[in-house]
Amino acid sequence: MALKKCNAVFEGGGVRGIGHVGAVCRLEKAGYEFVDTAGSSAGAMVAALLAAGYTGAELKKELEALDYMKFKGMDLPDYFGVVGKAFSLLISLGIYDTEYLEAWMEGLLAQKNIKNFDDLRKNGKKLKITASDLTEKRLLVFPDDLEEFGIQREAFSVAAAVRMSVSIPVFFEPVQWKDRHGKVHIIVDGGLLSNYPVWLLDDGEHLPKRPTFGFKFIDEEETCKCNICQAKANLVDYLKAIVSTCLDAVDHNHLIEGDFERTIRISTAVGFKEERHKINAVDFNISKKDSQALFENGWKAAEKFLNEWNFEGWKRRFR
């Protein structure tokens, strides 16, 4: 079967990234090969690993073996309960560090001989990763915006860019960077400003030579339980609800005509009947069963999408 080339943009989704992988596996089964990729937060992780040469099956294996709780890197104060976490938040602007996450990404990328953006370029791959600059209240796109910080674009670490993109506010310590003028910038999760950057690989005007598919999570609010809705919701539930609301917000500013039709919409709901519930981006204690259910949601969403997708028809309608 001849491979069909495509681009892919992955929405941020925290621990729900396995849903993206399910959709990727279904597209690969249909004969698609990914060329240019982009993403925010957990979507940046999937985009980077695909650009490095991982297949969907390889990503599934890695994520199934991953203990998401290890992403919650703990400094000394974090071992002292709520008081310690509050101290970490005051001192470091985040409860957990992301050193383990960056090291995990570095290790996976190294297995494909990828370290920086130049390594990807040599392999004919383009990768775009978003992050949010709280200091300037603006969206950053890596590697494009690195020169503003006096950093050579292509030599920058892919794992470091992913680390910044996944730094969920409150939960993770932000990255603090100095620009060429010595001003400190606080960099956090790209999803805060653009969680679904499908626009990164398509200007919306020129006729594309290959399709760009978007991978996005959707809620089933009418069937899913949410902890913050319960009478005894605690502070952790409250913070998770705030962060999830920000990260799940629709990317109205950048969506263009035709984006809905090229989006693979993956349900965040898992379980059956009265046990059906929504998986939030920061549910780090997600069970293996729920993780597998998200993978299956991604597979089914991609299958439904493929039954309806027609690239030539899409171009006639929207280009």
Return the active site residues.
Answer: 41, 189
- Measured from the Cβ of residue 178, the count of other Cβ atoms closer than 10 Å reads 11
Beta pairing class for 184-189 and 175-178: antiparallel
**Omega of the bond leading into 143 within 30 degrees of 0 (cis):** yes
Largest CA distance in the chain: 60
Residue 80 has what DSSP assignment? Answer: S
| Residue among 146, 138, 143 nearest 51 (CA) | 143
d(Cα 214, Cα 223) in Å, to the nearest integer? 25
Please answer whether residues 298 and 19 qualify as being in contact, where contact means their C-beta atoms are separated by less than 8 angstroms. yes
| Residue among 176, 195, 155, 212 nearest 35 (CA) | 212
Q: Nearest 5°: phi and psi at 156?
A: -80, 145
